[in-house]
Amino acid sequence: MKNFVPNFFILIKEISKKINNLFFHNICNICGKPNENFICENCQKRIKKFEKYKIINSKTLERQILNFYQTKSYDEFQSNYNSKIYFNNLFYCFEYKGLIRKLLLKYKFSGASYFCHFFANVILNNKKINEILKFYDIMIPVPMDKIKKLKRGYNQTELIANIIKKEKKLTVKADAIKKIKPTKTQSKLNFFERQENIREAFFIENKEAIKNKNIVLFDDIYTTGATVNEISKILKQVGAKKILVLVIAKD
Ligand SMILES: [Zn+2]
């Protein structure tokens, strides 16, 4: 019953959008009002508020984690938690808040796979990220385990990466890494529990394809970074040169 009430309202909202679609042909995919574009001007303005297009290096991220957990020194942090950031930089397009959070959750969990074009364009239309991507050879979307992907019907990061692949010279290797261990949903775990949960969950299929390459590891949402960090660790172990974690939104 607890989950039924919000789902019921989502359903009514979706049905009313469909009815609108019958009469007006094109509607905004966020507010549902008649509109020629995928997203209306008003909703585009609402999205703009969360834009960041920011790059952070791993040292800054490490400092942020230290501050958050109030650990005295990095050495202590490493020895206590066996923790280190393995990727070189993080680039994020939005803050994971408000409307952006709502859209990403809808894209990920409510079957709204058609939002992949919108999110791919967020990356493709940004000058800053296009300049950075020139220095990279391969893009790898964060994999899902087989059962989860079957249940959802799609891997949300793979859909976006495949659109980017068509527009860019970047090679997309969606099958370079396999998720070999089913893991608990990360959202209810803290940083260290997430790290433990995700440990040894991935396997590199083609090590030669990774060696000496600059890699873009692509994910939708960055929260503690435990998943992308675990993948970065094994990528570096097989000789990846530089790793950029690219995400749509950062928490
Ligand atoms: Zn709208």
Lowest mean pLDDT among 2-16, 173-187, 226-240: 2-16
CATH of the domain at 122: 3.40.50
Same domain flag for 36 and 56:
no
50 alpha carbon – ligand 1 mean position (Å): 16
34 alpha carbon – ligand 1 mean position (Å): 8
115 alpha carbon – ligand 1 mean position (Å): 14
Higher pLDDT among residues 67 and 103, named by residue: 103
Same domain flag for 154 and 41:
no
Same domain flag for 149 and 74:
yes
- State residue 84's pLDDT score: 80
Same domain flag for 91 and 34:
no
57 alpha carbon – ligand 1 mean position (Å): 35
What is the average per-residue pLDDT within 38-53? Answer: 94
Cβ atoms of 241 and 214 within 8 Å: the answer is yes
31 alpha carbon – ligand 1 mean position (Å): 4
**Domain, as residue range, for 37:** 1-48
Same domain flag for 17 and 85:
no
Same domain flag for 66 and 169:
yes
Cβ atoms of 137 and 156 within 8 Å: the answer is no
* pLDDT tens figures, 56-65: 999 888 877 7
Percent of the chain predicted with pLDDT > 70: 86
116 alpha carbon – ligand 1 mean position (Å): 17
Same domain flag for 63 and 115:
yes
Domain count across the chain? 2
27 alpha carbon – ligand 1 mean position (Å): 8
Same domain flag for 67 and 147:
yes
